[in-house]
Structure formats: structure tokens, C-alpha cells
């Protein structure tokens, strides 16, 4: 399911192509990946979205997944 918002940069319709959580000192921080029709590409904390847009996102049945980032050697 894709969620459409407006580009933070040029205000054309943009789609949320991914949503994930990054660990922070205060717990998982919800992030989104946004790509607008003009080709802008953002990866940003969803906290930065206008409240109305956040509410729209929250209404979507999207479960953020935890991004697994490997630090250092694995195995």
C-alpha cells in the first residue's frame, strides 16, 4: 500500500515508498522514505511531517519494521 503526501521541498504529490524504525537513545524512531513526482528523494523522521500528514500515515495499516543495520563484522 502506498501513501501519498506532499513533497517537503516542492509541494508536488509524493509517495511514501518505505517506512522503518531506527533505534535511538529514546527508543525506535519512525522514519519514512519519500519520493516526489519531480524526482526528489528523502529519508526523514516522520516527526518532521506536518501533524495532518502524520495522522494520515497513522491511519494507514502500515507496520513499521525495524531496520537491521549491521555494525562491524558479522558471523
- What residue ranges bind Zn ion (CB under 5 A)? 7, 9-10, 36, 38, 40
When the beta carbons of 10 and 66 are compared against Zn ion, the nearer one is 10
When the beta carbons of 7 and 32 are compared against Zn ion, the nearer one is 7
Instruction: Encode 15-52: b = buried (16+ Cβ within 10 Å), e = exposed.
Output: ebeebbbeeeeeeeebbbebbbeeeeebeeebeebeee
CB of 43 to Zn ion, least distance (A): 14
CB of 11 to Zn ion, least distance (A): 7
Amino acid at each position: 500500500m502506498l501513501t501519498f503526501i506532499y513533497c517537503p521541498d516542492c509541494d508536488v504529490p509524493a509517495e511514501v515508498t518505505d517506512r522503518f524504525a531506527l533505534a535511538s537513545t529514546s527508543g525506535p524512531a519512525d522514519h519514512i522514505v519519500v519520493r516526489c513526482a519531480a524526482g526528489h528523494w528523502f529519508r526523514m523522521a516522520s516527526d518532521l511531517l506536518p501533524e495532518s500528514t502524520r495522522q494520515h500515515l497513522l491511519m494507514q495499516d502500515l507496520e513499521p519494521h525495524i531496520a537491521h543495520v549491521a555494525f562491524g563484522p558479522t558471523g
